[in-house]
Structure 1
Amino acid sequence: MKRIKAVALAFLIIILAIQFLQPARNKNGQAVSKDFSKVFTVPGNVQGILKKSCFDCHSNQTEYPWYTYIQPVGWWMDSHIRKGKEELNFSEFGSYSKRRQMSKLKSIGESIENETMPLPSYTLIHKKARLSNEEKDLILNWVKNTRNSLSLKP
């Protein structure tokens, strides 16, 4: 019985200690000149959809829920955000080459059509991030029009 109490106490101390090891927050707060909305014409409704469903992991504008301040959940979220931004960062979209922008726009469309984004694990907790059919159509039309305008530019 003493051994179980000692292990439980050690576990509790470790859990409490790791709460002081918080990852850096992904919060810029400013739309920089490389932001996709500064590079392309983005209708307000499309930007709103992308903000609620994509920006937490794919921009420098993460909105952190309360549970991300509890470790190890915060570390797990930080990992998701870092990987998401490596794949696509709306805040840095303007710095991508034209070819990469075209590729990312294509990937956005495919991810929406295949329903691989937003991640089911994300929408499980963030119900507002789920995309309705109308929202999907708005994003897909914007992606198509933006890709067409990019392909016309020399």
Structure 2
Amino acid sequence: MKKTLYITLIVFLSLQLIPAKINNPSSDKNLEIKAPQEVMSILKRSCYDCHSNEVKTPWYASIAPASFFIKNHVDLGRKWLNFSTWENYSEKDKDKKLQGIFRTVYAAMPLASYVSLHKDAKLTKDEIKLMRDWTGKAPF
């Protein structure tokens, strides 16, 4: 039992040596998405921690293995959609991303794992309707 505890502790401490820092690259505010204030409020509260260059990391984001999971989520989120660089997307890409928001905001986003730790990120039915109306897109 003691041996297992020591091994676990050594592995945990060793993991701390592997960097998994989330960087917030600087970005031009002119490239940020433009939306009505009520939509921007939702985006900043529920989406920006994975889909922008303005990620606010919690204290545990620097502790492995949580740091690995959080960095991976942020990297994937930014790869799919980055609201901080919205104006760099072509009109066709913007349209696809708005369609994606229309589809995912109803059930998939924000992720349940994120909402479990950030209760204020959960969207109400009215906020979901607002987001879907704002995208103005059909699901297909």
TM-score normalized by the length of structure 2: 0.87
The corresponding residue for 1:89 is 82
User: Is the 8 Å Cα contact of residues 21 and 62 (structure 2) preserved in structure 1?
Assistant: no
The corresponding residue for 1:35 is 32
- 1:81 is displaced (CA, Å) by 0.8
The corresponding residue for 2:19 is 22
Aligned residues: percent identity?
34
**Cα distance in 2 between the residues matched to 1:99 and 1:22:** 36
**Cα distance in 1 between the residues matched to 2:120 and 2:28:** 23
- 1:82 is displaced (CA, Å) by 0.8
**Cα distance in 1 between the residues matched to 2:67 and 2:20:** 7
> Once superposed, what is the RMSD of the aligned Cα atoms?
1.8
- AA aligned opposite 1:26: N
* 4+ aligned runs moved over 4 Å, structure 1: none
Is 2:6 aligned against 1:9? yes
Residues 26-49 of structure 1: CA deviation (Å, up to 9, x unaligned): 324655332213xxxx11121011
Gapped runs of 5+ residues in structure 1? 148-154
- 1:134 is displaced (CA, Å) by 1.6
TM-score normalized by the length of structure 1: 0.80
**Cα distance in 2 between the residues matched to 1:116 and 1:11:** 34
**Cα distance in 1 between the residues matched to 2:74 and 2:105:** 19
- AA aligned opposite 1:131: L
**Cα distance in 2 between the residues matched to 1:56 and 1:20:** 24
Gapped runs of 5+ residues in structure 2? none
Asked which structure has the greater CA Rg, the reply is 1
**Cα distance in 2 between the residues matched to 1:62 and 1:76:** 14
Is 2:100 aligned against 1:107? yes
- 1:58 is displaced (CA, Å) by 0.8
The corresponding residue for 1:132 is 124
